[in-house]
A and B are shown apart, each in its own frame.
Chain A
């Protein structure tokens, strides 16, 4: 007679508490813990603190910290300077994103050739990314001064250059261009990697089928690298909204308010005018704008991005 343990008997047998499944899940939590703690301490807590501060009037010099409810938010809605700041921010971001992404893609396509010494050029265009931001901007501020390097060069050709950083239009162009030249290499490298991930047989098939080069780019290359376009556009848009040091070094938000973007305005309110409460309110506004734009892009990804699976 064969003896078979009944299910109830089996379950009565003693099983150790640390089963394999429990050990695996503990290991999982342990692996995730450093990152989770890091995010909590350095992202979530500050975010909540900023929101808390935004409900207060906080003057560091006077050492006042008073709960004001939504008063700062009312001030936000009636701030006469804010529309100008938002318009400057929008102009800066739109021009920066369009200029940065199209230049990065153009460079990536040009540098995606198999030519002798091409890596020299790739390195050259990427190198500003690793240069110190402030050093980069200070050098450009010398170049862009009224009697600076750029106008010196123009002078050789008999052209009298404008005082770049002292006219509203040229100042905006200057901060956009300086920022694009600083960071275009990063997007370029990402695009370059994406371009090299497109199977070359697709282009060979297109050549045999007689598809003209421009259409190959539009109908094959762009859809194939669309996930990277998505990624770089999010990075670039978010980055463009956080630009501070360049503005601080080059224009200090001027002339007038023409280059006072949201982050610089926030800095002025908090650290120049010592309204930390209102500064915190402005950073909540910035957070909402960034979150909304990212959410919007994420929603659009299904229509514009092609994923293999």
Chain B
């Protein structure tokens, strides 16, 4: 186990810059998730830490050791690949023991480590099988087993669940988290799925276009996104954005007036942000919304509505029985709202709101 530090890390392929100076501190034993849309550079960062990509500028350190020029094998890391990268001609046991074999471990030691890992991952009865004879989830576990037998300082996961179906993904998410709680090994995990990031991370790094947008705990990012990108990316269904201006203690968009905390910046184009679950049904005298689509989920009802000609999405604990075209009146707690600068996308600080 060891902390990991990225200091002003940059990456370019020829003239094309893909990572523009990234700083991340990962504490010893922390589970950090790199999340962002495809092409944001998250996998590249992970591969730079693994030693599979060179570092154009800046420094990456594992513990006190700067690893920029170290071969992957000298970094004491283990990696789980998106397509598992299992050796198809080897059995599960050989796959997991392969790296130990080449580190001079004795047969007994290898057996002990492999059995230990297989025990943790529930693979004991599959040791004699080949990857082709396993299900997706089992292959994923073998890939994890191959990583944990070496007891490395850092685990790297590169979108490990994206080849699994939705149900299995939820199961494996839990297993990876449980594994981390058991082993407490420093983990860097890359995904494009914000749900994975929210549910698994101690700390989330949101990346976009080779820049860090925000670093924080899952709930911190959810409640206090620094800009519209993070606000939109974190949370599902996504935050609603309505364009308009502040007038007194209301946000005015077309003919709709939405409540804001007092003292908000007046007189310039802003974007009003509100999460779907922060709409509540009002008995009377609220915001008028026209119902477009009602999707009953059982535990909640999701409703697509139009406010001032702009589509918004609400989730309600109540069972909304409104028909498309009918009108709902909604309430919003001003404390749950966010205001973003329409030009820069930055969120206006609370005290200035």
A complexed with B: yes
Whether B81 and A308, one on each chain, are in contact in the complex, defined by CB atoms closer than 8 angstroms, is: no
Q: How far apart sit A201 and B103, CA to CA, in the bound complex (Å)?
A: 20
Q: How far apart sit A309 and B50, CA to CA, in the bound complex (Å)?
A: 31
Whether A209 and B98, one on each chain, are in contact in the complex, defined by CB atoms closer than 8 angstroms, is: yes
- The smallest beta-carbon distance between B189 and chain A, in angstroms, is 16
Known: A201-B81, A204-B81. A209 touches B87 (CB 8 A): no
Interface mask (B46-78 → A, CB under 8 Å = 1, otherwise 0): 000011100000000000000000011110011
Q: How far apart sit A223 and B89, CA to CA, in the bound complex (Å)?
A: 7
The count of residues in chain A whose C-beta lies closer than 8 Å to any C-beta of chain B is: 19
Whether B98 and A207, one on each chain, are in contact in the complex, defined by CB atoms closer than 8 angstroms, is: no
Q: How far apart sit A212 and B99, CA to CA, in the bound complex (Å)?
A: 10
**Most B-side CB within 10 Å, residue of A201, A306, A308, A309:** A201
Q: How far apart sit A207 and B89, CA to CA, in the bound complex (Å)?
A: 18
What chain B residues lie within 8 Å of A308 (beta carbons)?
88, 132
A208: Cβ under 8 A from any B Cβ: yes
Q: How far apart sit A299 and B103, CA to CA, in the bound complex (Å)?
A: 36
Tell me what chain A mostly uses at the interface: helix, strand, loop, or mixed. Answer: helix
B79: Cβ under 8 A from any A Cβ: yes
- The smallest beta-carbon distance between B186 and chain A, in angstroms, is 16
A205: contacting residue among B51, B74, B85, CB under 8 A: B85
Interface mask (A195-234 → B, CB under 8 Å = 1, otherwise 0): 0000101101101111110010001100110000000000
B83: Cβ under 8 A from any A Cβ: yes
**Most B-side CB within 10 Å, residue of A205, A220, A306, A309:** A205
Nearest residue (CB) in A for B81 is A201
- The smallest beta-carbon distance between B110 and chain A, in angstroms, is 13
B102: Cβ under 8 A from any A Cβ: yes
What chain A residues lie within 8 Å of B73 (beta carbons)?
207-210
Interface mask (A179-208 → B, CB under 8 Å = 1, otherwise 0): 000000000000000000001011011011
Q: How far apart sit A223 and B88, CA to CA, in the bound complex (Å)?
A: 9
Known: A204-B52, A308-B132, A309-B132. A209 touches B81 (CB 8 A): no
B102: contacting residue among A201, A205, A211, A306, CB under 8 A: A211
What chain A residues lie within 8 Å of B81 (beta carbons)?
201, 204-205
A208: contacting residue among B52, B88, B102, CB under 8 A: B52
Q: How far apart sit A204 and B89, CA to CA, in the bound complex (Å)?
A: 17
Whether B85 and A212, one on each chain, are in contact in the complex, defined by CB atoms closer than 8 angstroms, is: no
Q: How far apart sit A114 and B173, CA to CA, in the bound complex (Å)?
A: 37
The count of residues in chain B whose C-beta lies closer than 8 Å to any C-beta of chain A is: 23
Q: How far apart sit A224 and B71, CA to CA, in the bound complex (Å)?
A: 25
Q: How far apart sit A201 and B81, CA to CA, in the bound complex (Å)?
A: 8
B150: Cβ under 8 A from any A Cβ: yes
Q: How far apart sit A132 and B83, CA to CA, in the bound complex (Å)?
A: 45
Q: How far apart sit A210 and B150, CA to CA, in the bound complex (Å)?
A: 11
Whether B98 and A201, one on each chain, are in contact in the complex, defined by CB atoms closer than 8 angstroms, is: no
What chain B residues lie within 8 Å of A223 (beta carbons)?
89
What chain A residues lie within 8 Å of B150 (beta carbons)?
209
What chain B residues lie within 8 Å of A224 (beta carbons)?
88-89
Q: How far apart sit A204 and B88, CA to CA, in the bound complex (Å)?
A: 15
- The smallest beta-carbon distance between B113 and chain A, in angstroms, is 13
**Most A-side CB within 10 Å, residue of B77, B78, B88:** B88
- The smallest beta-carbon distance between B269 and chain A, in angstroms, is 47
Whether B83 and A199, one on each chain, are in contact in the complex, defined by CB atoms closer than 8 angstroms, is: yes
What chain A residues lie within 8 Å of B79 (beta carbons)?
204-205, 208
Q: How far apart sit A220 and B101, CA to CA, in the bound complex (Å)?
A: 14
Q: How far apart sit A209 and B81, CA to CA, in the bound complex (Å)?
A: 13
Q: How far apart sit A142 and B233, CA to CA, in the bound complex (Å)?
A: 74
Q: Which residues of A are in contact with B by a Cβ distance under 8 Å?
A: 199, 201-202, 204-205, 207-212, 215, 219-220, 223-224, 306, 308-309
Q: Which residues of B are in contact with A by a Cβ distance under 8 Å?
A: 50-52, 71-74, 77-79, 81, 83, 85, 87-89, 98-99, 102-103, 132, 146, 150
A-B contact pairs, 8 of them (CB 8 A): A201-B83, A204-B85, A205-B85, A207-B52, A208-B72, A209-B73, A209-B146, A219-B98
Starting from the known contacts A209-B78, A210-B103, A306-B89, 17 additional A-B residue pairs (CB-CB under 8 Å) come to: A201-B83, A204-B50, A204-B81, A204-B85, A205-B79, A205-B87, A207-B51, A208-B50, A208-B72, A208-B78, A209-B98, A209-B99, A210-B102, A219-B87, A219-B98, A308-B88, A308-B132
